[in-house]
Amino acid sequence: MIDLRFSEAELEQRREHITGFIRDRVDAASADGAVIGLSGGIDSTLTANLSVEALGAENVHGLVLPATVSSEENMSDAELVAQNLEIPYDVIEVEPIVDSLLAAYPEAEGDREAVGNARARARAVLNYLVANHEDRLVVGTGNRSEAAVGYFTKYGDGAVDCHPIGNLYKGQVRQLARHVGVSEELAAKTATAELWADQTDEDELGVSYDVLDSILATHIDGPLSIAATARLLEVDEATVDRVRGMYERSEHKRTAPPAPDPLD
């Protein structure tokens, strides 16, 4: 794999750049702060830390949004992050909202992907309910790796006002988190979207984040062909091709909904 790690000086530059970005987005919207969904994972943990640094703890509202498939460990970690940062937070159960959706459309019962995405979209609705009520922005927690392959729910965790860590590959997220003082236990934690039971990101993606980051940096964001990327990284061409396919199929998630071109 290729080394995408930052130097100490670069880490501090990223830290200052991202905190400045958060402040600028909130100021530009004349908002009173930020709302962040806390999952107990490294992405939301780093985003919360940087948002507190940018805005002050009193101006960051955390939401812990458990569902029946959420692990007690992750929800406990999410609350611990809020407590350690001394930000106000609320715990709101998501499953009653999902149950009401399935009661309205029972045909989707048992469809793991549809129900899992409904959970993500229910969380987005709650984020915006609180943000609108408090005149805040919803600050997203998506990273560059997951955005590139569409590993997020459209109008779910992708429904936010800004993505402060959206320019960082997953490995860089972990590195910056360590730099700002996040515990090693959280920084090295197995990533999961928890849309259904026992889900992990890498199992669902079918590739480790180290491999994914390297393929994205050299082939998707970089100039190398599939064959050259496979040789450099010592992986199968089929793996590179599959990542390429995920990138191309998920383009609709990264762009605004299309409309026809205007008539002359």
pLDDT in tens, the chain (264 residues): 899 999 999 999 999 999 999 999 999 999 999 999 999 999 999 999 999 999 999 999 999 999 988 888 889 999 999 999 999 999 999 999 999 999 999 999 999 999 999 999 999 999 999 999 999 999 999 999 999 999 999 999 999 999 999 999 999 999 999 999 999 998 888 777 666 666 677 888 889 999 999 999 999 999 999 999 999 999 999 999 999 999 999 999 999 898 999 987
How far apart are the C-alpha atoms of 19 and 249, rounded to whole Å? 32
How do the domains of the chain map onto residue ranges?
8-194
Cα Rg for the chain, rounded, in angstroms?
Answer: 19
Q: How far is CA 46 from CA 20, 21, 82, 172, 232, in A?
A: 15, 14, 12, 11, 31
Which residue is associated with the tokens 């909130």? Answer: 26
* pLDDT for the residue numbered 69: 85
* pLDDT for the residue numbered 196: 65
DSSP per-residue string spanning 78-124: HHHHHHHHT--EEE--SHHHHHHHHHH-GGGTT-HHHHHHHHHHHHH
Q: SS3 of 75, please?
A: helix
Pairing of strands 89-91, 60-64: parallel
What CATH topology corresponds to 8-194? Rossmann fold (3.40.50)
